[in-house]
Amino acid sequence: MKATAPQITQLPVGVINKIAAGEVIERPASVVKELLENSVDAGADRIEVAIEKGGADLIRVADNGCGIESEQLALAIAPHATSKILDADDLFSVSTMGFRGEALASISEVSQFTLRSRTADSHAGAEITVDGGKLSGPHPCGCPVGTSIEVRNLFFNTPVRRKFLRTQQTEMGHITEAFLRVALAHPERHFKLLHNGRAIHDLAATENWRDRILALFGREISESLIPIESFDGDVRLWGFVADPSQNRGNNKLQYLFLNRRCIRDRALGHALGEAYRGLLMTGRYPVTFLQFEMPPAVVDVNVHPCKLEVRFQDGGRIYSHLLGALRTKFLATDLTNRVRSAGEEETPTLDQTASYNRSDDSLNRRKDFDDWVQQQLPASPDHAAEQHNHEPAAEPGMLNLTTFDRAAFDLGGGSQSQPAEVAGSTGQPANFASSAPSTVGGGQRVAALQVQNTYLITEDETGLLIIDQHALHERILYERLKTRLEEGEVEIQRLLTPEAVHLAPAEASAVIEATELLADIGLLVEAFGGDTVLVSACPVMLGRMQPAELIRRIAETLIEADGKLAPREATDELLHMMACKAAVKAGDRLTPEEITSLLEQRHLCHDAHHCPHGRPTALVFSRHELDRRFGRLG
């Protein structure tokens, strides 16, 4: 027997709007974005955003734009009502930010909403209020020319949504991001953002895009910008890309605008990565501010409810345009010199040798490592005496390097007798720690061969060991930090002058929210207004690592964890991150002294076999295993 067919009914407008609201209005920041775009479309040149309690209590956007006629107010909040397009053809010539006519309908459905507006040729303004979709008004009211919209108690009638609101700081981070995307795209307009009565941004109108970038992202970024301009037919690409020394662990600081609309596009993100290939380490992303201007007809902006994604008629051509423009520019720019001189004049406290240049970077780290080893090692007369011993000592229980040398060269058919280096299979020379053998534990000699600048090969009582240098060093640093932390002995170093670090909004809120946690691990930070935090002390163990870089890495770690970690886990995560950052990397050539110290430290670890992420630090081939593989066991 068949079940009775269910009744099909037309959903009430309120439900339809709530469904639409779910798509367009995800959180307070979405409201801010929609209202700001409306103000821009209305031709306003002064726009003020006031937020209370991260937007949960109040979002108010006031502008001096064209206003709305009193008799049109009710229509403005009706679904699919818009003044921006008339028919489907218009969809392909949209020059406004909005056109779907959904935003005000959606917002007023899920909040307590007031809209006041006055056009230039009316003597008074008019006001409507909407309480969870129920309209009253319009009533006459006094107000300046322009429009002011207040959204109170967002999601008050959709409790599930309301519950999903995060802390004020987090929501404010998203709001600030939404704000700056619009403010960035429209430098010729004055924008202001207030939170709980305090001005966070007050951006004077400017002709110069760099000034707006400066106001939003600070000096370090704005002074590293390289201007870009390039044409391809009627497509214009212009803006700035930051010097490679300004790079991040995610792509959040890659702003791309299409006809003044902030968009995200994977392919174009990829083009940026390609353009910077070889200039950045893997996993790092460039900082860019770029604008595409093109006829509306060659791009479809109606493929995403928030209009964050678009579809290009000829995506391949746009990709090549972007990549080509940047490559050409980089070829004509001496990036190395730029970094040096910019670094010197801007922040004299900055370590002068620091730059994106990989070898410089590893030099610094090398120095840190040396310093650190000096501090950590118990003063052993043996060690000191042997620092300068360049004779490879051949003793029982030790890898015989002399033999190894010759063997390697005999295989290659060469005739040299005492080479210091042997070409590895990929052309990277192997590296011998033959100059500083030293004593560990029960007086046993340790020496190792570094291969591919990544692995250390050595032996212990049981057999042959292949050690991952980065994983091992990371483990050592991690345990050290953790012990100090548990013993409440994190030594902190106060900076002579606190360092102001300018962050992306989401980064700033994550760091500020974690202030206490960071204090526990020896990092003293405080909010400094806007998206800037002030660092006044760092853990001594991190040596010369730049506070700014440390804070950025921490922000990235916190954002990735997205508040889902308990404080303990979060601390642990941060220790991992710091250890990972401070450790030698795969590809770093180590001095014999460093190799020796690493191997010595290995014996002090609780778990020398795994890096903090759980990867093994060493592979062991026991004597038995070797014998078996060489067929000696019969």
Least CB distance from residue 46 to ligand ADP, whole Å? 12
Q: Which one among 25, 61, 103, 611 touches Mg ion, defined by CB under 5 A?
A: 103
Least CB distance from residue 33 to ligand ADP, whole Å? 10
Interaction of residue 83 with ligand ADP, rule CB under 6 A:
yes
Q: Which one among 50, 59, 68, 237 touches ligand ADP, defined by CB under 6 A?
A: 68
CA-CA distance, 601 to 371, in Å (whole number)?
14
Q: By three-state DSSP, how is residue 243 classified?
A: coil
Bridge partners (DSSP) of residue 501 are 533
**23 to 62, contacts with ligand ADP by CB under 6 A?**
34, 38-39, 42
Instruction: Identify which of residues 24 and 518 has a Cβ nearer to ligand ADP in the complex.
Output: 24
Instruction: Give residues with Cβ within 8 angstroms of 437, minimum separation 6.
Output: 386, 389, 392, 393, 398, 445, 446, 447, 596
Q: Which one among 17, 32, 63, 434 touches ligand ADP, defined by CB under 6 A?
A: 63
Q: Which one among 20, 25, 58, 103 touches ligand ADP, defined by CB under 6 A?
A: 103
Interaction of residue 336 with ligand ADP, rule CB under 6 A:
no
Instruction: Identify which of residues 100 and 212 has a Cβ nearer to ligand ADP in the complex.
Output: 100
Give the pairing of strands 58-63 and 46-52. Answer: antiparallel
Interaction of residue 99 with ligand ADP, rule CB under 6 A:
yes
Residue nearest to ligand ADP (CB): 98
Instruction: Identify which of residues 20 and 577 has a Cβ nearer to ligand ADP in the complex.
Output: 20
Interaction of residue 104 with ligand ADP, rule CB under 6 A:
yes
Instruction: Identify which of residues 104 and 430 has a Cβ nearer to ligand ADP in the complex.
Output: 104
Interaction of residue 77 with Mg ion, rule CB under 5 A:
no
Helices 547-561 and 505-513 cross at an angle (nearest 10°) of 90
Closest CA to 338 of 458, 245, 421: 245
Helix (H) or strand (E) run with residue 558 in it: helix 547-561
Token code pair at residue 157: 């009638």
Helix (H) or strand (E) run with residue 241 in it: strand 235-242
CA-CA distance, 406 to 418, in Å (whole number)?
7
CA angle 62, 64, 68 (to 5 degrees): 85
Least CB distance from residue 40 to Mg ion, whole Å? 9
Interaction of residue 38 with Mg ion, rule CB under 5 A:
yes
Stretch that binds Mg ion, among 42-50, 99-107, 525-533, 591-599 (CB under 5 A): 99-107
Beta-carbon neighbour count of residue 296 at 10 Å?
16
Least CB distance from residue 70 to ligand ADP, whole Å? 12
Instruction: Give residues with Cβ within 8 angstroms of 342, minimum separation 6.
Output: 223, 224, 243, 245
**136 to 165, contacts with ligand ADP by CB under 6 A?**
147
Whether the upstream peptide bond of residue 138 has omega within 30° of 0, thus cis, is yes
DSSP-based helix, strand, coil % in the chain, nearest 5 = 40, 25, 35
Instruction: Identify which of residues 76 and 521 has a Cβ nearer to Mg ion in the complex.
Output: 76
To which residue do tokens 């070829």 refer? 331
Instruction: Identify which of residues 34 and 150 has a Cβ nearer to ligand ADP in the complex.
Output: 34
Instruction: Give residues with Cβ within 8 angstroms of 614, minimum separation 6.
Output: none
- Contact residues for ligand ADP, defined by CB under 6 A: 34, 38-39, 42, 63, 65-68, 76, 82-84, 98-105, 147
- Contact residues for Mg ion, defined by CB under 5 A: 38, 98, 103
